[in-house]
Amino acid sequence: MDSLQSILEGNRLAIARGLTQVENDTPHGRAILNSLFPYTGRAPLIGVTGSPGTGKSSLVNQLARFFRQPSQSVLLGRQLPLRVAVIAVDPTSPFTGGAILGDRVRMRDLAGDPGVFIRSMATRGSLGGLSRTTAGMVQVMDAAGYDVILIETVGAGQSEVDVARLAHTTLVVEAPGLGDDIQAIKAGILEIADILVINKSDRPGAETTERALRSMLQLAHPVAHVFKHHGQVEQLSTNWVADPQAPLWIPPIQRTVATEGEGIAELAAAIDHHYQHLCQTGEWQQREQARLQSELEALLQETLVSRWRDSLPEAHYQQVLDCLIRREVSPWQAVEQLIDGRPE
Amino acid sequence: MDSLQSILEGNRLAIARGLTQVENDTPHGRAILNSLFPYTGRAPLIGVTGSPGTGKSSLVNQLARFFRQPSQSVLLGRQLPLRVAVIAVDPTSPFTGGAILGDRVRMRDLAGDPGVFIRSMATRGSLGGLSRTTAGMVQVMDAAGYDVILIETVGAGQSEVDVARLAHTTLVVEAPGLGDDIQAIKAGILEIADILVINKSDRPGAETTERALRSMLQLAHPVAHVFKHHGQVEQLSTNWVADPQAPLWIPPIQRTVATEGEGIAELAAAIDHHYQHLCQTGEWQQREQARLQSELEALLQETLVSRWRDSLPEAHYQQVLDCLIRREVSPWQAVEQLIDGRPE
């Protein structure tokens, strides 16, 4: 296919068209993914996640700008400037056509830079559909040769966990004043963080936020907790290797003010540090494998269910559903009737 | 079963034990759900959702207290005081044992009131598992005779949509100062709201938040938008019926200061108003049916996949997975090999 070669060569129009096919899950989109797959698995995937109001978009914007700087430095195993792809996952909003607005706002800074590719996507309705579509779009960007792919997601909960499964490095973004300690605990997304970011850290309450995060880290990492008893609790905020044979990554806490560009270089260094950790410990390979396996599981599930439904007589399904709605059978009993008792 | 009768009679210990069985998805738990199912479908389910930091827990607490007041009033078709069940869905947090802490904090106000039953649950790892378990636990509370069930969830995104599917009335809670307009748009959870709550409305920025919500409502409800041109935009914040033949619910915006108890009576009235709307328009039945159907779909999916996996030789799965990890086959190709090409 001509379009495949164009995507591999990094042709923007071909990439954009390919992404649309993949996002819409067309047969052509699946063919593209099958053909591109051998060329994937190269770019580090950086997930950026956190509650609304933490300034994730600005942070992604600033990181992209940082990666684009011409410099002698090497980041993520590559000479700067890096070719950067951004995928921003916005929930579908009939209110705004959110994705388009998002693009415009984000594009202001990076518009016209041929080394940056930005794509916003709406979330799909189906459970699991979002992470599958995102995984496919990331594969297209990866095959197209981008050096790093930033994945921004909104929301808390399952969608964050899915991003963490997809990304090599997950940034969890907090901001001062978004809630009390209990709320922060409830959010419960700290466990997926490779790096904790306190954005808007020039606001009042940054100290409190950092203290709360730090004490949660201590609960999560008993080794770090022991470390505290040696009076060196300060080191908790840096990457600390417990045992060279089994290196342990303790999420560093990075402060940023994305709108001013403050702390961005340090954050990029922490990302690079985590990348090296992944490569040196073999965790990169482990994450790749876990990611591919979870993608396989999701596709299997979807395919099994849709094939079974195609083979089920609609009238039988409707009959059982009617009994369920009249509460003559329970949901579990309905499942048994549909799977075991259906006419051949 | 003795325990069934005890649950139906509202015995707290029996309810608590039944909930644990259902939460852990034991065979006994499924048997309980099958037996209780004919007694469900009575209590109005009120979902309360929003970002961390909006004060959802305090709001749920205050609503429960309000419903518990002895009074001559009728709410949700029942004479006050109502018997209230609360289910708070906290993400699993290895940091804190979050659910237990949550219980303690919440219980302070309502402890010792035999007419209130509170349960916190951790979210399960699997996609869809949370909503299924919650649905089961709600059925136990419903069969136990609680007059109203409050379901509190954390996070934004898919989990909110799942709550909305479960609840008859969904409250989306916002608070001033949690983010700019674009962030609010991105959260994209407004479309599931039956009632919008601006909690902490004594804080600066409440006006701005209300204005933002109102303009989004106008985008969402073209009829309301037309209404604006008649110079009566104020009415947007109340329930406004466009056409008596096809009554339209426009989400009202309610301001509260939950920590002070302000606006709680008005919020309860709005909930009652929505309940009456559901009953009068037949939407109550529609929501019940949609809810049962989506529960059925989720159970079907889970059962189909687990049965298929049980029948699949592990060695074959591992072989295909290895090819996938070596990128010799793509995820879609692996699915085809596993489903179509597996040895009989």
Chain B residues in contact with A157 by the CB 8 A cut-off are 91, 123, 154-159
Q: Does one domain contain both B227 and B321?
A: no
Parallel/antiparallel/unpaired status of strands A169-174 and A45-50 = parallel
DSSP assignment, residue A238? S
CATH of the domain at B222: 3.40.50.300
CB A176 within 8 Å of CB B145: no
- Does residue A95 register a pLDDT over 90? no
* A324–B182 C-beta distance less than 8 A: no
Most confidently modeled of A111-120, A123-132, B47-56, B122-131? A111-120
Give the Cα separation of A198 and B179 in Å (integer): 15
Q: Is residue A307 part of a domain?
A: no
Q: Which has more confidence, A111 or A61?
A: A61
What pLDDT does A160 receive? 61
pLDDT at residue B40, as a whole number: 95
Residues of A in contact with B123 (CB under 8 A): 157-158, 188
CA–CA gap between residue B320 and residue B317 (Å, rounded)? 5
Whole-prediction pTM: 0.71
> DSSP labels for B241-264?
-S-TTS---PPPEEE-BGGGTBTH
* Claim to verify: residue B197 and residue B249 sit in the same structural domain: yes
Q: Are residues A119 and A149 in the same domain?
A: yes
Are B321 and B280 members of one domain? no
Q: How many residues are recorded in chain B? A: 344
Classify B304 as helix, strand or coil.
helix
> For residue A326, which residues of chain B lie inside 8 Å, CB to CB?
none
Instruction: Classify residue B18: in a domain, yes or no.
Output: no
Instruction: Work out the pLDDT band at B56, boundaries 50, 70, 90.
Output: confident
A327–B40: do the CB atoms touch at under 8 Å?
Answer: yes
So what's the pLDDT on residue B221? 60
- B31 Cβ under 8 Å from any chain A Cβ: no
- Average pLDDT over every residue of A148-162: 73
Look at residue A340 in the predicted model and tell me its pLDDT: 83
ipTM of the complex: 0.78
Residue A202 has pLDDT above 80, yes or no: yes
Report the alpha-carbon distance of residue B270 to residue B259 in Å, rounded. Answer: 19
**Residues A217, A236: one domain?**
yes
Output the pLDDT for position B208.
Answer: 84
Report the percentage of chain A scoring pLDDT > 70. Answer: 75
pLDDT of A224 above 50? no
A233 shares a domain with A153: yes
- Find, in chain A, the residue whose alpha carbon is nearest to that of B101: A182
Find the closest chain A residue to B287 by CA distance: A325
Q: Which two tokens stand for residue A328?
A: 């003559």
B279 & B208 share domain: yes
pLDDT score for B131: 74
pLDDT-above-70 percentage for chain B: 75
Total domain count for chain B?
A: 2
What is the pLDDT averaged over residues A226-247?
42
For residue B329, list chain A residues with Cβ-Cβ distance below 8 A. 37
Residue A183 lies in a domain: yes
Q: Are residues A334 and A298 in the same domain?
A: no
Question: What confidence score (pLDDT) does residue A253 get?
Answer: 93
Q: Looking at residues B98-120, what average pLDDT do you find? A: 66
**What is the pLDDT at residue A247?**
66
Higher pLDDT, B219 or A226: B219
Residue A82 has pLDDT above 80, yes or no: yes
In the predicted structure, residue B246 carries a pLDDT above the cut 50: no
Task: Verify whether the Cβ–Cβ distance A327 to B30 is below 8 Å.
Answer: no
Report d(CA B153, CA B163) in Å as an integer: 8
Q: What is the pLDDT of residue B205?
A: 85
Mean pLDDT score, B168-197:
71
Q: Domain for residue A227, yes or no?
A: yes
**Of all helices (H) and strands (E), which one includes residue A85?**
strand A84-90
Residue found under tokens 């270089």? A265
pLDDT class for A108, splitting at 50, 70, 90?
low
Q: Is B40 on the interface with A (CB under 8 A)?
A: yes
> What pLDDT sits at residue B195?
94
Quick one: pLDDT band at residue B91, thresholds 50, 70, 90? Answer: low
pLDDT number for residue B316: 93
Residues of B in contact with A220 (CB under 8 A): 94-95
| Confidence tier at B321 by pLDDT (50, 70, 90) | very high
A87, β-bridge pairs: A119, A151
pLDDT (0 to 100) of residue A142: 97
> Is residue A116 assigned to a domain?
yes
pLDDT at B26 over 80: yes
B314 in contact with A at a CB cutoff of 8 Å? no
- What does the pLDDT read at residue A59? 93
Residue A210 lies in a domain: yes
Asked whether residue B227 falls in the same domain as residue B330, the answer is no
For residue A109, give its domain range.
40-302
Q: Could you give the residue ranges of the DSSP H alpha helices within A121-180?
A: 129-143, 158-166
Q: In 3D, which of A16, A10, A13 has the Cα closest to residue A43?
A: A10
Q: How confident is the model at residue B154 (pLDDT cuts 50, 70, 90)?
A: low
Q: Are residues A275 and A195 in the same domain?
A: yes
When mean pLDDT is compared across A156-160, B142-146, B310-314, the lowest value belongs to A156-160
Query: Are residues B262 and B341 both part of a single domain?
Result: no
| Predicted local confidence at residue A223, as pLDDT | 53
What pLDDT, on a 0 to 100 scale, did the predictor assign at position A175?
Answer: 85
Tell me the two tokens of residue B250: 């426009």
A9 phi and psi angles, rounded to 5 deg? -85, -5
Instruction: Give which of B92, B131, B152, B185 to mutate to test A binding, by max A Cβ within 10 Å.
Output: B185
A338, B41 Cβ separation under 8 angstroms: no
Per the model's pLDDT, the better-predicted residue between A305 and B257 turns out to be B257
Q: Are residues B67 and B139 in the same domain?
A: yes
Does some domain include residue B16?
no
- Classify residue B316 by burial, with Cβ atoms within 10 Å: 0-12, 13-18, 19+: middle
Residue A89 lies in a domain: yes
